[in-house]
């Protein structure tokens, strides 16, 4: 006999752009929102009874309507505002999970000064927020950054590893280190300044990556996590995922040429995959 297990439903990939107009400048945000609800929905699965379902199209419209009136300055604040609204207006909903991604638009610099109404995309990375709350409980918020593409051309090595009959990798004492890093962190304190915390964490990790004399991706990942914890006392832990996006030395010998670490072939598949959580 079959019975319904854990379930939830919602709306994903709800995209919106927002202009906030000030007297002398505009602010611009581009968000992608996902809403997932848990609750008393069993009969919709087992008895084809939709009487307790809020249409996902209504969820989409709710995102736009709340964004219109919202004063939220961060994706974390908007995620909680949206979740609170859905929980307050739907007693059949026991819990809400809201995720928001924000593209890295930044104000354009023209003749050395920030331009009031013109923006450029700062990079491929997106800021992320993941907010979860059950009825009658407090929010649990996780923030992060996804797709932070960084590379260094030196101060990276990999030696001393296990070698068996299938090992072909040669030791490297000076190699390219490239990655597309993802970081997420949990907060030790409630209601921090989310934007400021994110700025401090990312700045600290980038500075460490640049200066670090890496003996492995694992080595650099851990030290980046350590400096993030130091830079942001508001967080309790940080999880880092850092694929090793390889740049392989091109073989120019068939052409009678040497290659003193000059020409490389970038590949992203297959790649090494390293992740860890660094805690206090």
For the chain, what is the mean pLDDT?
A: 97
The per-residue b/e assignment along 27-54, b for 16 or more CB within 10 angstroms, e otherwise, is: eebbbbbbbbbbbebeebeeeeeeeebb
Q: In this predicted structure, what is the pLDDT of residue 189?
A: 77
pLDDT tens sequence across 220-272: 999 999 999 999 999 999 999 999 999 999 999 999 999 999 999 999 899 99
Q: Is the pTM of this model over 0.95?
A: no
Dihedral of the alpha carbons of 140, 145, 146, 150, in degrees to the nearest 10:
-160
Dihedral sign of CA atoms 141, 71, 196, 100 in order: positive
Please report, for residues 128, 129, 218, 278, the alpha-carbon distance to residue 241 in angstroms, rounded to integers and kept in the order given: 14, 16, 10, 11
Residue 168, pLDDT > 90, answer yes
pLDDT tens sequence across 134-143: 999 999 999 9
Taking phi over 0 as left and psi of -120 to 50 as alpha, with beta for the rest, 78 belongs to: alpha
| 232 three-class SS | coil
Structure tokens at 169: 């990798």
Half-sphere CA count of 184, side-chain side, radius 13 A? 13
Q: According to CATH, what is the number of the domain 9-138?
A: 3.10.270.10
* Positions marked active-site: 11, 56, 246
What ranges in 90-132 are assigned the alpha helix state H? none
E strand segments, the chain: 9-21, 26-39, 93-110, 113-134, 140-152, 177-187, 235-244, 247-249, 264-266, 272-279
Domains 9-138 and 148-279 share a fold: yes
Domain boundaries, the chain: 9-138, 148-279
Q: In this predicted structure, what is the pLDDT of residue 76?
A: 98
pLDDT tens sequence across 57-98: 999 999 999 999 999 999 999 999 999 999 999 999 999 999
Per-residue pLDDT, averaged over 38-46, amounts to 97
Which CATH superfamily, name and number, covers 148-279? Urate Oxidase; (3.10.270.10)
Q: Do 108 and 100 meet the contact criterion of CB atoms below 8 Å apart?
A: no
Structure tokens at 64: 């736009």
Distance of CA 173 to the CA centre of its chain: 31
Is there a cis peptide before residue 214, judged by omega within 30 degrees of 0? no
Half-sphere CA count of 88, side-chain side, radius 13 A? 6
Interaxial angle between packed helices 56-69 and 75-89, expressed in degrees from 0 to 180 and rounded to the nearest 10:
130
d(CA 118, CA 269): 37
Antiparallel, parallel or unpaired: β 9-21 and 26-39: antiparallel
Per-residue pLDDT, averaged over 10-29, amounts to 96
């Amino acid at each position: 006999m079959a019975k319904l297990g854990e379930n939830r439903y919602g709306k994903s990939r709800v995209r919106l752009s927002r202009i906030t107009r000030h007297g002398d400048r505009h602010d611009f945000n581009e968000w992608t929102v996902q809403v997932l609800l848990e609750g008393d929905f069993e009969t919709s699965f087992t008895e084809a009874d939709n009487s307790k379902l809020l249409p996902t199209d209504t969820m989409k419209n709710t995102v736009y309507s709340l964004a219109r009136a919202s004063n939220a300055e961060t994706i974390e604040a908007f995620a909680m505002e949206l979740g609170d609204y859905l929980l307050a207006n739907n007693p059949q909903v026991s819990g809400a999970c809201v995720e928001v991604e924000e593209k890295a638009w930044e104000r354009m610099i023209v003749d050395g000064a920030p331009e009031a109404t013109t923006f450029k995309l700062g990079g491929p990375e997106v800021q992320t927020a993941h907010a979860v709350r059950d009825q009658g409980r407090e929010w649990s918020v996780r923030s992060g950054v996804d797709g932070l593409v960084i590379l260094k051309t030196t101060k990276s090595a990999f030696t001393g590893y296990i070698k068996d009959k299938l090992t072909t990798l040669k030791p490297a004492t000076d190699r390219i280190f490239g990655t597309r890093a993802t970081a997420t962190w949990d907060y030790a304190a409630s209601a921090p300044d989310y934007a400021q915390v994110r700025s401090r964490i990312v700045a600290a990790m980038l500075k460490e990556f640049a200066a670090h004399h890496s003996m492995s991706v694992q080595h650099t990942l851990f030290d980046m996590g350590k400096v993030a914890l130091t830079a942001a006392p508001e967080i309790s832990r940080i999880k880092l995922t850092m694929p090793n996006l390889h740049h392989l030395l091109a073989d120019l010998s068939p052409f009678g040429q040497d290659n003193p670490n000059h020409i490389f072939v970038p590949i992203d598949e297959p790649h090494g995959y390293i992740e860890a959580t660094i805690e206090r």
